[in-house]
Amino acid sequence: MKLFYSPTSPYVRKVLVSAHEKGVAERIERLGCAANPINRDKTIVASNPSGKVPTLLLDDGRVLYDSRVICSYLDALTDTPRLMPAEGGERFAVMTLEALADAILDAAVLARYETAVRPRELYWDAWHAGQMEKIDSGLDALAEQWMALLAGPVNAGAIAAACALSYLDLRFPEKDWRAGRETLAGWFATFSERESMRMTVLRG
- pLDDT by position in tens, the chain (length 204): 999 999 999 999 999 999 999 999 999 999 989 888 888 999 999 999 999 999 999 999 999 999 999 999 999 999 999 999 998 999 999 999 999 999 999 999 999 999 988 898 999 999 999 999 999 999 999 999 999 999 999 999 999 999 999 999 999 999 999 999 999 999 999 999 999 999 999 887
**Residue 154 covered by a domain:** yes
Query: Residue 57's domain is classified under what CATH number?
Result: 3.40.30.10
Strand partners of residue 3: 30, 56
- Residue 70 in any domain: the answer is yes
Host domain of residue 143: 88-194
Q: Is residue 134 part of a domain?
A: yes
Spell out the residues 6+ positions from residue 8 whose beta carbon is closer than 8 angstroms to its own: 170, 202, 203, 204
Based on the domain organization, do 70 and 128 belong to the same domain?
Answer: no
Domain boundary among 42, 75, 108: 75
Domain membership of residue 93 (yes or no) is: yes
Does residue 9 sit in the same domain as residue 56? Answer: yes
Output the domain CATH number for residue 103: 1.20.1050.10
CA–CA separation, 160 vs 162, rounded Å?
A: 6
Contact 19, 74 (CB under 8 A): yes
pLDDT of residue 168: 98
Question: Could you tell me if 92 and 184 lie in one domain?
Answer: yes
Same domain, 190 and 130: yes
Q: Tell whether 34 is covered by a domain.
A: yes
pLDDT at 133: 98
Q: End of a domain among 41, 75, 109?
A: 75
Residues 36 and 106 in one domain: no
- Residue at 39: amino acid letter: N
Residues 125 and 188 in one domain: yes
80 in any annotated domain: no
